[in-house]
Chains A and B, each alone.
Chain A
Amino acid sequence: MTTSVAPPLALRPRPQVCRACGALHEPAPIAVCEQCLGPLDPVFDAARVLPTRDAIAARPWSLWRYREWLPFDGEPVLSLDTGGTPLVEAPRLAARLGVARVWVKNDAVSHPSLSFKDRVVATAINAAAAFGLDTIGCASTGNLANAVAAQAARAGLKAWIFIPEDLENAKIVGTAVYGARLIRVRGHYDDVNRLCAQVADEFGWGIVNVNLRGYYGEGSKTFAFEIAEQLGWRLPTAVVAPMAGGSLVTKLRKGFREFSAAGLVSGGAPRIFGAQASGCAPIVRLVRENADAIQPVVPHTLARSIAIGNPADGLFAKRAIIESGGWAAAVSDTELVAGIRLLAEAAGIFTETAGGVTVAAALALAAEGRFSPDDEVVLCITGNGLKTVDAVAPVLPQAPLIAPRVAEVRALVKAADAPTVKESL
């Protein structure tokens, strides 16, 4: 005899609407408006019941505790334990920036693949499953490759992952180990991205940042939701985030505004500040020159994870930054490496190159007078330093090799007055 148990309400992706012309599209693995080719965004039921602070706080500590703001009806079935990363106060960084307080939102320890991309893949993979897709993939500068490979493996889905030829070895190994089909493409990320748009069109796979992009991008908002909840249901006054395609800054602003609209948080909307490496800074240029069109660039920077020369969300990122009262800054490779070291030495967090860009850009913005002494700033750290050790290894001091004798340690202690990066930065 068998007993039947009612299955959970199947997950259903929400419909999407064109950001450019407003045309409504039924739920489907498409990200482009059939009327005007504009990007599609999920639409939410304005009459849905939203949870209270207490109801949210009683849920498991993952990004799904904010599921009413994610683009689905019903219950998620995959990647249920992603999100919930630490928000770490960093008083020494606050002193460096000349502001009241600084926190680091630390997605360098995101589960399962140590980057912020776990969030967007968690939502995209649930969309893929709901659409009955058995293969997912991505165009990636590395972190997304790791996240897709890990979460596809766990879900039992096939994964085809396309990366530029020159990615860091840690990101290649950290993708291939999960059994994904990993393809290196001659050229930069923008070449890979274009190829994946064609691949999604040809093979019908769920390319998470192409034809699942509407469902993928909404996962980024959980970064903002967690910041607000971890600050005690209030908003910081400023947020600094790295920019690659430009989506994150738009979703941070959207997330903060959604929580304000829901009456869950106090405080005005934070100023959003964007960070890029000067070797690939098309969005910073948009902001600082008030330009109205992206001028694509060929990237030349150590910060490969954000080296997107043709950022699809660049104009939207500029708008989010300007409307919030924020600004943008680009930093050199030397400065970003110093930023990695500063975050490690001042806050005990080892970030990858994109995080170094964020920290260094925060310093540059402070030097420009973009922050005030009463600002409360959150630095968005999106990836783990163990993935880009080659960027910082050459500038770290060599570890001395000694015999196992106390006298040799005594000599080292005596000589240990050399200035550290904290003084030299």
Chain B
Amino acid sequence: MSITLQLPAVLAKLADGRRSLEVQGSTLGDVVADVAARFPGLAPRLRDAAGKPYPFVTFYVNDDDARLSGGFAASVRDGDEIIVVPAIAGG
């Protein structure tokens, strides 16, 4: 078992067209670093130059907004599903 990262279409093209990736890490930040190393073109879309999350990109761990559980410090483990969603909707 491993962790799954789901990408929106707009980002999948930067990950060889794959919408779903198997990823590694014990925190969300680890996972983002893992993905950034494997797909360098994706890296600047997921985090800024200082390694911080963007306000426009929301990460969900098992349907919960990761910002409610520490952001990039949020713990993840085998079997978790991480969803990346551009924060564009509302109201």
Is there an interface contact between A37 and B90, defined as CB atoms closer than 8 Å? Answer: no
Chain B residues whose C-beta falls within 8 Å of the C-beta of A245 in the assembled complex: 89-91
Task: Count residues of chain B with CB under 8 A from any CB of chain A.
Answer: 24
Residue of B nearest to A39 (CB): B88
Is there an interface contact between B88 and A312, defined as CB atoms closer than 8 Å? Answer: yes
Is there an interface contact between B56 and A20, defined as CB atoms closer than 8 Å? Answer: yes
Is there an interface contact between B58 and A294, defined as CB atoms closer than 8 Å? Answer: no
Q: Does A197 lie at the interface of the complex (its beta carbon under 8 Å from any beta carbon of B)?
A: yes
* A:270-315 near B, CB below 8 Å: 293-296, 298, 308, 310-313, 315
Q: Does A34 lie at the interface of the complex (its beta carbon under 8 Å from any beta carbon of B)?
A: yes
Is there an interface contact between A311 and B55, defined as CB atoms closer than 8 Å? Answer: no
CA distance A296 to B64 in the complex (A): 11
Q: Does A210 lie at the interface of the complex (its beta carbon under 8 Å from any beta carbon of B)?
A: yes
Q: Does A38 lie at the interface of the complex (its beta carbon under 8 Å from any beta carbon of B)?
A: yes
Question: Residue-by-residue, is B44-65 near A (CB-CB < 8 Å gives 1, otherwise 0)?
Answer: 0100000000111110100101
Instruction: Kindly identify which residue among A31, A37, A246, A295 contacts B67, using a CB–CB cutoff of 8 Å.
Output: A295
Which one of A63-71, A172-180, A186-194, A344-352 is at the B interface? A186-194
Q: Does B10 lie at the interface of the complex (its beta carbon under 8 Å from any beta carbon of A)?
A: yes
Is there an interface contact between A312 and B67, defined as CB atoms closer than 8 Å? Answer: no
Which one of B20-28, B31-39, B79-87 is at the A interface? B79-87
Is there an interface contact between A193 and B54, defined as CB atoms closer than 8 Å? Answer: no
Q: Main secondary structure on chain B at its contact with chain A?
A: mixed
CA distance A2 to B58 in the complex (A): 57
Q: Does A209 lie at the interface of the complex (its beta carbon under 8 Å from any beta carbon of B)?
A: yes
Is there an interface contact between B8 and A210, defined as CB atoms closer than 8 Å? Answer: no
* A:121-155 near B, CB below 8 Å: 139, 144
* A:196-247 near B, CB below 8 Å: 196-198, 201, 207, 209-210, 213, 244-247
Chain A residues whose C-beta falls within 8 Å of the C-beta of B58 in the assembled complex: 194, 310
CA distance A247 to B91 in the complex (A): 7
- Closest beta carbon of chain A to B21's beta carbon, Å: 16
Is there an interface contact between A296 and B91, defined as CB atoms closer than 8 Å? Answer: no
Instruction: Kindly identify which residue among A210, A294, A298 contacts B88, using a CB–CB cutoff of 8 Å.
Output: A210
Q: Does B68 lie at the interface of the complex (its beta carbon under 8 Å from any beta carbon of A)?
A: yes
Is there an interface contact between B87 and A310, defined as CB atoms closer than 8 Å? Answer: yes
Q: Does A365 lie at the interface of the complex (its beta carbon under 8 Å from any beta carbon of B)?
A: no
Q: Does B9 lie at the interface of the complex (its beta carbon under 8 Å from any beta carbon of A)?
A: yes
Instruction: Kindly identify which residue among A194, A210, A295, A315 contacts B60, using a CB–CB cutoff of 8 Å.
Output: A194
Q: Contacts A197-B8, A296-B65 known; A31 to B88 CB distance under 8 Å? A: yes
Chain B residues whose C-beta falls within 8 Å of the C-beta of A207 in the assembled complex: 89
Is there an interface contact between A244 and B91, defined as CB atoms closer than 8 Å? Answer: yes
Q: Does A32 lie at the interface of the complex (its beta carbon under 8 Å from any beta carbon of B)?
A: yes
Is there an interface contact between B86 and A32, defined as CB atoms closer than 8 Å? Answer: yes
Residue of A nearest to B7 (CB): A201
Is there an interface contact between B89 and A196, defined as CB atoms closer than 8 Å? Answer: yes
CA distance A213 to B91 in the complex (A): 10
CA distance A362 to B87 in the complex (A): 30
Instruction: Kindly identify which residue among A34, A196, A198, A293 contacts B10, using a CB–CB cutoff of 8 Å.
Output: A34
Q: Does A343 lie at the interface of the complex (its beta carbon under 8 Å from any beta carbon of B)?
A: no
CA distance A32 to B89 in the complex (A): 10
Is there an interface contact between B85 and A315, defined as CB atoms closer than 8 Å? Answer: no
Q: Contacts A296-B67, A310-B65 known; A209 to B10 CB distance under 8 Å? A: no
Q: Contacts A190-B65, A295-B67 known; A197 to B54 CB distance under 8 Å? A: no
Q: Does A395 lie at the interface of the complex (its beta carbon under 8 Å from any beta carbon of B)?
A: no
Residue of A nearest to B13 (CB): A34
Residue of A nearest to B6 (CB): A198
Q: Does A409 lie at the interface of the complex (its beta carbon under 8 Å from any beta carbon of B)?
A: no
* A:1-56 near B, CB below 8 Å: 20, 30-32, 34, 36-39
Residue of A nearest to B53 (CB): A293
CA distance A308 to B89 in the complex (A): 11
List 10 A-B pairs, minimum CB-CB distance, nearest first. A245-B90, A245-B91, A312-B90, A32-B86, A210-B89, A244-B91, A37-B86, A197-B85, A31-B88, A193-B89
7 A-B pairs, CB-CB below 8 angstroms?
A: A39-B88, A201-B8, A209-B90, A244-B91, A245-B90, A247-B91, A312-B90
> Beyond A30-B10, A37-B54: 19 further Cβ-contacts under 8 Å?
A31-B89, A32-B56, A39-B56, A39-B88, A139-B89, A193-B89, A194-B58, A196-B89, A197-B85, A197-B88, A209-B91, A210-B89, A248-B91, A294-B55, A296-B67, A298-B68, A310-B58, A311-B90, A312-B89
Report A's interface with B, CB cutoff 8 A.
Answer: 20, 30-32, 34, 36-39, 139, 144, 187, 190-191, 193-194, 196-198, 201, 207, 209-210, 213, 244-248, 293-296, 298, 308, 310-313, 315
